[in-house]
Every structure is written in structure tokens, then in C-alpha cells.
């Protein structure tokens, strides 16, 4: 019988994720030699190598890739055993790994974390900010517990709960304040600045403007809403941002905020988790806190409501 330990599986998973012994050891809060020893012992038990060692990185072998799929299933099941015990407690305690997309995290997350920490004193909050596709992968692998994203996700293995609707607003140079607001048919003819590919907010903006994502456009793609708003302030073009971003992104930029004509572009923000998780009751309590945080932050500076 093979003597494979959970520690070895967790170290293996970290090394597969980071592709580097030093970074994997840091992620596991152990020394690099300690992690290396466990990986070597695991390979000796299996009688084969899991990683191809190169000077500055490691790469999974064919066996390593197959082993990774099975080991993550085991680790996820073990984590859910712990969740089962936590779910039996009245209060949420222990580690909560929550993912958030970049067009939500800077604006809503501080208030959410503050309210979670106040209501659930024993919870250890770990935040992961990245794009939706990565969050879905990490949720499926059990590397995060829940995520706040734009809906719908339409993944059969996940529960999704809508939290609130949010409008997009138009950001124009400050000199455009008071001018007629363009309608959606006019936006494709303007220099519309968008987030780079991979962001769901980009796809939503393109869909509202009826612009095909594969068509060439003479524009700037930014890595963050901050970059886009600052470029608008510099007179390079216009952009769309979610309403919750107004207070943060416009306070240091020479821009004006305008609401578009009906129908206004909107998105649905929701929370998702694995259907197999026994923590659903606790997650539903968290959804209430997120809604409260949004209501608390829903006030925004007055926008230019002039229409064409």
C-alpha cells in the first residue's frame, strides 16, 4: 500500500501551481529544502518523477499532469470534510477563501471584509483578486471557497445567487460636461477605451455597444479601470465604468460622469460556490453582508444627466 500523505499532496499542488520550488515553499510557509524532501519522497513512493527539473522552473511530466487532477480531487474532498465540521457550528470560523473580480474588488471589498470581520470574529479571510475564468478554475479545484462575480455563470456544478444590479456610467473628459450624452449607437464611432481581453466587464461593454470583439478597433486596452479613467482625463477617449467605481476612480481625474440614455447598460453581481459544499448556509449569510455593503456604498457623486 502506498504511503502518500496529505502534506505531500499539498506541497505537490503548490509546486504544480507555482512552477518553482522557492515560490511554492513560500506559499506553503515552509523552507525550500523541506518542500523538496517531501516532493522527492512522493516521487519515490510512486516510483516515477512528477516534475521535469529545469534551471529556474519545474514542469509537470505526463504522469504529473494526470496525478495533479486526481490529487486535487482528494484535497478538495478533504477540505469539504473540514467544511462539514465548520458547517455544524453556529458561527463561521476558520479560513474563508473568497475570490473577487478586479472590477469589484477595489470598491466593494474593503467594506465586505470589515463587515465579515466584525460579524464573524473567528474567521480568517483570504482574498483572491483575478479574472472570472481563473476564479472558476480555482473554485472547481477547491483552491477558493466562494467568489463574487458578474452573473450569469451557468455552470451546473455551481450555485449562483444574485446580489444586486448595477448600471454602467459614461466617463468623458471634463470639458465634455454638459454636452449632449451620446446614445449607444454613437459609441462605436467614438474612441472607446476598454479593459484588455479576459475581463468580463469588457465583454459586457462590447455587447452593450453592439461591437463584435473580434473586429479590429483603433483604441487603447487597459489593465485596470484606473488606467482607462486617467486616459480619458488626458483627452484620449471615453470609457464605461461600473457605478460602484465612481467615487474611487474619478476623484483624481479630470473627467465628467454621465448616465446613458435608456436602456442603460447594467450587470448583475452575484456570489457563487460549489454545490457540493456543506457551507451553503454560511455563504447565504455572507450574501446578506455583501448586499448591505453595496447599499452602504451606493451613494455616488451627481452625474451629468443631459441627454441628446
Q: Round the CA-based radius of gyration of the chain to a whole number and report it.
A: 23
Mean pLDDT throughout 148-169? 95
Query: How many residues does this entry show for the chain?
Result: 308
- The pLDDT value recorded for residue 191 is 86
Residue 122 has pLDDT above 50, yes or no: yes
Q: Which of 9-18, 174-183, 275-284, 295-304 has the lowest mean pLDDT?
A: 295-304
DSSP 187: G
pTM here is: 0.74
- The pLDDT value recorded for residue 266 is 92
Residue 305 has pLDDT above 80, yes or no: no
Nearest-angstrom CA–CA distance, 14 and 8: 10
CA neighbor of 97 nearest in space, from 55, 58, 130, 56: 130
- Banded model confidence at residue 307, pLDDT cuts 50, 70, 90: very low
- The pLDDT value recorded for residue 306 is 40
Mean pLDDT throughout 24-53? 93
Q: What DSSP element (H or E) covers 119? A: helix 105-119
- The pLDDT value recorded for residue 300 is 44
Residue 236 has pLDDT above 50, yes or no: yes
Q: Which of 31-35, 178-182, 254-258, 297-301 has the lowest mean pLDDT?
A: 297-301
Find the distance separating the first CA and the last CA of the chain, reported in whole Å: 75
Nine cell digits for residue 301? 457623486
Backbone angles phi, psi at 155, to 5 degrees: -110, 115
Structural domains in the chain, CATH included, are 6-84 (1.10.10.10), 92-160+270-297 (3.40.190.10), 165-266 (3.40.190.10)
Q: What is the pLDDT of residues 51-105, one digit of tens each?
A: 999 888 899 999 999 999 999 888 888 887 777 766 666 667 788 999 999 999 9
CA neighbor of 218 nearest in space, from 236, 204, 234, 203: 236
Amino acid at each position: 500500500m502506498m504511503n502518500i500523505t496529505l502534506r505531500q499532496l499539498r506541497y505537490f499542488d503548490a509546486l504544480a501551481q507555482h512552477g518553482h520550488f522557492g515560490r511554492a515553499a513560500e506559499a506553503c510557509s515552509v523552507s525550500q529544502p523541506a518542500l523538496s524532501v517531501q516532493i522527492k519522497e512522493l516521487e519515490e513512493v510512486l516510483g516515477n518523477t512528477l516534475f521535469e527539473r529545469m534551471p529556474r522552473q519545474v514542469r509537470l511530466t505526463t504522469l504529473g499532469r494526470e496525478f495533479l487532477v486526481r490529487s486535487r480531487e482528494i484535497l478538495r474532498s478533504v477540505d469539504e470534510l473540514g467544511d462539514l465540521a465548520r458547517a455544524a457550528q453556529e458561527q463561521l470560523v476558520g479560513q474563508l477563501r473568497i475570490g473577487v473580480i478586479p472590477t469589484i474588488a477595489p470598491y466593494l471589498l474593503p467594506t465586505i471584509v470589515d463587515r465579515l470581520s466584525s460579524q464573524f470574529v473567528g474567521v480568517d479571510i483570504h482574498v483572491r483578486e483575478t479574472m472570472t475564468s481563473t476564479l472558476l478554475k480555482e473554485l472547481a479545484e477547491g483552491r477558493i471557497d466562494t467568489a463574487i462575480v458578474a452573473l450569469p455563470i451557468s455552470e451546473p456544478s455551481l450555485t449562483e445567487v444574485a446580489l444586486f444590479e448595477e448600471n454602467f456610467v459614461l466617463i468623458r473628459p471634463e470639458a465634455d460636461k454638459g454636452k449632449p450624452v451620446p446614445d449607444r449607437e454613437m459609441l462605436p464611432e467614438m474612441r472607446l477605451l476598454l479593459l484588455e481581453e479576459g475581463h468580463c466587464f469588457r465583454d459586457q461593454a462590447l455587447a452593450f455597444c453592439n461591437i463584435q470583439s473580434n473586429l479590429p478597433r483603433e483604441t487603447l486596452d487597459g489593465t485596470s479601470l484606473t488606467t482607462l479613467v486617467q486616459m480619458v482625463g488626458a483627452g484620449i477617449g471615453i470609457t464605461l465604468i461600473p457605478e460602484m467605481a465612481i467615487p474611487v476612480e474619478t476623484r483624481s481625474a479630470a473627467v465628467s460622469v454621465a448616465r446613458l440614455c435608456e436602456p442603460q447598460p447594467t450587470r448583475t453581481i452575484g456570489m457563487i460556490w460549489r454545490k457540493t459544499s456543506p457551507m451553503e448556509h454560511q455563504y447565504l449569510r455572507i450574501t446578506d453582508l455583501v448586499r448591505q455593503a453595496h447599499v452602504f456604498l451606493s451613494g455616488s457623486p451627481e452625474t451629468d444627466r443631459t441627454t441628446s
